Amino acid sequence: MHHLSLSSRRITTGLTAACLFAFAACAAADGSTTPTAPGAATLTQMTLTPPTVNLQTGATQTFAAAGVWSDGTTSAPTVDFTATGGTISAAGLYTAGGTAGTFQVIAAHHGGTKTDTSAVTVSAPAATLTQVILTPATVSLSTGATKQFAVSGVWSNSAATIPAVTYTATGGTITTAGLYTAGNTAGTFRVIAVQQSGSLADTSAVTITAPVSQGITLFSDGFEDTNVASRGWFDVTNVAVTTDARPGSSGTHALQYHWSVGDVAPQGLGTSRHDFTPSNSVYLSYWVKTSTNFSGLGHLFYFLTTADDHYIGPSVSHLTTYNQYVYSGGNFFANLEVADVLMIDTTKINVDLLGVTENRSIGGANGKHEVADATSTVLWDLYRNGAQWMDSRSFQPNAAAFTDATKNSWHHIESYEQMNTVVAGIALQDGVYQYWVDGTLTMDRHNVFFRTGANPTMQFRTFLMGPWVNAGSPLDQFVWIDDLTVATAHP
């Protein structure tokens, strides 16, 4: 009896027999609980967090599942993740795809039936401005001239939206819309565009040049009628005019040049010439319009000098300057050419005679001295025409004179040529060549050779109009000229 009593006490101080055989959580005599036997508890509730989330395309979010079990415990169940609108790893890392919309992340209890779903809203990130671009980047203007500036933006989503900017400027004034007006002081100044509500900015350089002092008008013609001989023109005088004057003209007519297919000169005409008082400088101003199908010219206008007869052929002279256009990629560029074929030392072809003798060509046969600068490109030519050596060099402004889009509209073209000086019989490289399109200075060179010490008193004396398509016009086309002026200086 004593032994049985001892065994009974051991049972009551441990677990009851019922608890041992039921494998359930039972209270011990001291009030503690016994853990549930492995595998006996079942998942009664599962929750996926976060329940909702907003993500931008490409962003990530970690999802996690929590569980409530039949034995009252809470622990994370083993789940399988699936997702729409993006991808999700086995550990619950969701990566939003590239499409905006509302999608789902689903967690399913592995081996069970419980699931929970979270809502995912994917949106495209807001575009951000990464760069402000101000155009034109550089510009040269005469005092008082105007230039329209514009901005574009580089955006994180490649949008073409024009950013909102605030303009400021030195050396002149600028409107809120970007129209700059040059002041009266020559120098180098700036136009700045600053992003509104931001810090991005871009700057353009503005060079303001004082106009050449008021010169003398040598002659002018508005081409109001065909009686050009009465106004000093000679050689070819049977020109055509039309009632198509440029806007703002005081007249109603304009000079008309018409090429049929295959024509070299318009209507087979030669050059119309006009003498003027000899001058060391010439300023040319005219208005030009082309037909919509205009394909470009060879020569257009020329200046001859006192070193030659005023009837000389312009291609073989002591000095001829050309004012013409070349066509490239939908743009028409001015081509200001200088040739002095009769000055070539044919015994020294391609030999640089600068500093050796003044009896030399400045066209390129006896040395090439001008180089490209910020405003223009220099092009050289040297070839033989039978027994005659021919040379020339041309200055082509980097900015287009006009484009395909602005054909059939009037443009104001101005150029200025000033002879280089000759000191003690030596030519200095200080001649001037300038070119304006619609009031904007597009070429500004002050290092040009026009003459050598062999012709120290040579001056400009004859103006020629001789539109010329060397290979013959490929199509039926027109050019109109109005309000032409030759003077000694830019007004």
pLDDT tens sequence across 164-183: 999 999 999 999 999 999 99
pLDDT of residue 157: 83
d(CA 56, CA 121): 8
Task: Specify whether 221 is located in the same domain as 204.
Answer: no
Residue with the two structure tokens 């503690």: 32
Measure the CA dihedral 118/122/126/130, to 10°. Answer: 110
Instruction: Look up residue 197 and give its two tokens.
Output: 């509500």
Task: Specify whether 416 is located in the same domain as 291.
Answer: yes
Question: Under the phi-then-psi rule, with left for phi > 0, alpha for psi from -120 to 50, and beta for the rest, what region is 139?
Answer: beta
**pLDDT mean over 409-424:** 94
Task: Specify whether 329 is located in the same domain as 382.
Answer: yes
Task: Answer whether 154's CB lies under 8 Å from 129's CB.
Answer: yes
Task: Specify whether 242 is located in the same domain as 295.
Answer: yes
Tell me: pLDDT of 358 over 90: yes
Question: Under the phi-then-psi rule, with left for phi > 0, alpha for psi from -120 to 50, and beta for the rest, what region is 98?
Answer: alpha
pLDDT of residue 2: 36
Return the ∠ at Cα 220 (arms to 217 and 225), rounded to 5°: 165
**The sheet that has 43-49: what strands, in order across it?**
43-49, 64-69, 74-75
pLDDT of residue 126: 80
Task: Specify whether 233 is located in the same domain as 358.
Answer: yes
**pLDDT mean over 61-67:** 96
Q: pTM score, two decimals?
A: 0.60
Distances (CA, A) of 365 to 100, 103, 202, 335: 68, 76, 44, 19
Which CATH number covers residue 202? 2.60.40.10
Of 64, 99, 123, which residue sits at a domain end? 123
Phi, psi values for residue 403, rounded to 5°: -125, 175
Task: Specify whether 465 is located in the same domain as 410.
Answer: yes
Of 209, 230, 263, which residue sits at a domain end? 209
pLDDT of residue 214: 64
- Assign 344 a pLDDT band (cuts: 50, 70, 90): very high
**pLDDT mean over 308-330:** 92
Tell me: pLDDT of 217 over 70: yes
pLDDT (tens digit, 9 = 90+) per residue, 103-123? 999 999 998 899 999 999 999
R_g of the chain, CA atoms, integer Å: 43
Task: Specify whether 270 is located in the same domain as 379.
Answer: yes
**SS3 state of residue 258:** strand
pLDDT of residue 389: 96
Task: Specify whether 288 is located in the same domain as 430.
Answer: yes
Task: Specify whether 450 is located in the same domain as 313.
Answer: yes
pLDDT of residue 325: 86
d(CA 173, CA 184): 11
The 8 Å CB, 24+ separation contacts for 75-78 are 77/43, 77/46, 77/109, 77/110, 77/112, 77/114, 78/109, 78/110, 78/111
Buried b (16+ CB within 10 A) or exposed e, 53-91: bebebeeebebebebbbeeeeeeebebebebebbebeee
Task: Answer whether 460's CB lies under 8 Å from 305's CB.
Answer: yes
Nearest of 196, 464, 181, 165 to residue 308 by alpha carbon: 464
Task: Specify whether 471 is located in the same domain as 322.
Answer: yes
Q: Which residues pair with 134 in a beta bridge?
A: 151
Residue 294: CB atoms within 10 A of its CB come to: 20
Q: How many domains does the chain have?
A: 4
Of 150, 183, 209, which residue sits at a domain end? 209
Task: Specify whether 370 is located in the same domain as 475.
Answer: yes
Domain that holds residue 188: 129-209
Question: Under the phi-then-psi rule, with left for phi > 0, alpha for psi from -120 to 50, and beta for the rest, what region is 386?
Answer: left
Q: Which residues pair with 219 in a beta bridge?
A: 486
Which CATH number covers residue 320? 2.60.120.200
Mean confidence (pLDDT) of the chain:
88
Task: Specify whether 165 is located in the same domain as 201.
Answer: yes
d(CA 224, CA 216): 23
